Amino acid sequence: MISVIIVNYNRKDLLRGCLDAVIMQSRDRTMSCPYKDIEIIVVDNGSLDASSGMVNAVYPEVKLLQNTENLFFCKANNQGIKETKGDFILCLNSDCVLDKDYLKEALSSFNLDEKIGMVSGKILRMDKKTIDSTGLFIARNRKPLERGYGKPDKGQYERPEYIFGVSGSCLLMKKDMLDDIKDKNGYFDETFEIYYEDLDLCWRAQKKGWKAYYNPKAIAYHERGATAIVHPIRLRESPTAAHGVGGHEFRRISDELKKRYIRNRYKCMRKNDSIAGFLVNLPFILFYEIKLCSYLVLDSAFGLARTIFFERATEGSTERSECTKRVEKKKNFLDRNL
């Protein structure tokens, strides 16, 4: 049996497409694997948009776990994993849609090596032309690195191969691996809440001798950031974000999420990196820290300058200060390079 866990928070609009794609996997009776039974678990983090009612009404076969508050990505997924019966667990973002053969292709990869504990397919953006992830790696600056992120799909990642880990947006795992790497903070480390939690899990698995594999025939589509980015009507909370964010996304998340992102970066290194690995990569780590600190200083300065500008506008002045323009230009440059 395959158990699919979908964490949802106020994204009823995305959840239907996600669920429909998962259900279609089980209706494919030509699946060349013995796992035709699919158990679907939706963990709702206290949504206010009638998500739970929609699941109950439209998808009676889905098991719904309802929380009264937002438990965030890690705790909600752990809650779902504890309820599973499957030999394989797919933790799937609600903003991710599986291609019709995703499970068939991905599951076949586990037969190649008994130590393969995680499988990634080719994750594309919703335009079906842009790469979102072809595997998770650790950059030398200790950031999570989604291979191919944001690049046009030109067939450059068509070779199946071992990778470091798998993006948390569409993370297929052996239950045996999860049981082996579980620590005092759970399968996903609940102290992370969101960001870097998939890198932490994959790093722990690697240290335990498990492997991750990439199969480009398994295809899924991800609306990157749809469950994490701050929108005008959703200023504070972020529900089910996978791990790190790109620079253009970093500037759009709330200050509280920026703090979590930075905190979890340090926590992940402290928890998993070796002394030798840290020292060898220290120049790259420090260079990234300089960029990050520069961004935060400029972000603060831009916020102050913008406040002054609006005060002037209120008094009748419509001229934007050159200082504000210069700060914004530098800030945008760092946005693109974080």
Return the pLDDT at 249: 60
| 24 burial level (CB within 10 Å; 0-12, 13-18, 19+) | middle
d(CA 238, CA 67): 15
- Per-residue pLDDT at 231: 36
Contact yes or no for 230/252 (Cβ under 8 A): yes
**What is the per-residue pLDDT for 241?**
35
First-to-last alpha carbon distance for the chain, in angstroms, is 40
- 4 sits in the region (left: phi over 0; alpha: psi -120 to 50; else beta) called beta
User: What pLDDT tens digit does each residue of the chain (338 aa) get?
Assistant: 999 999 999 999 999 999 999 999 866 555 444 456 899 999 999 999 999 999 999 999 999 999 999 999 999 999 999 999 999 999 999 999 999 999 999 999 999 999 999 999 999 999 999 999 999 999 999 999 999 999 999 999 999 999 999 999 999 999 999 999 999 999 999 999 889 999 999 999 999 999 999 999 999 999 986 565 433 333 333 333 334 455 446 666 777 888 889 999 999 999 999 999 999 999 999 999 998 888 778 766 655 555 555 445 544 444 455 555 555 565 555 555 56
**Pairwise CA distance, residues 153 & 170, whole Å:** 18
pTM (two decimals): 0.82
Q: Which of 207, 206, 187, 210 is nearest to 197 (CA)?
A: 187
2-222 CATH fold: Spore Coat Polysaccharide Biosynthesis Protein SpsA; Chain A (3.90.550)
* The residue to which tokens 């799937």 are assigned: 92
Q: What's the CA gap between 58 and 291, in Å, rounded? A: 48
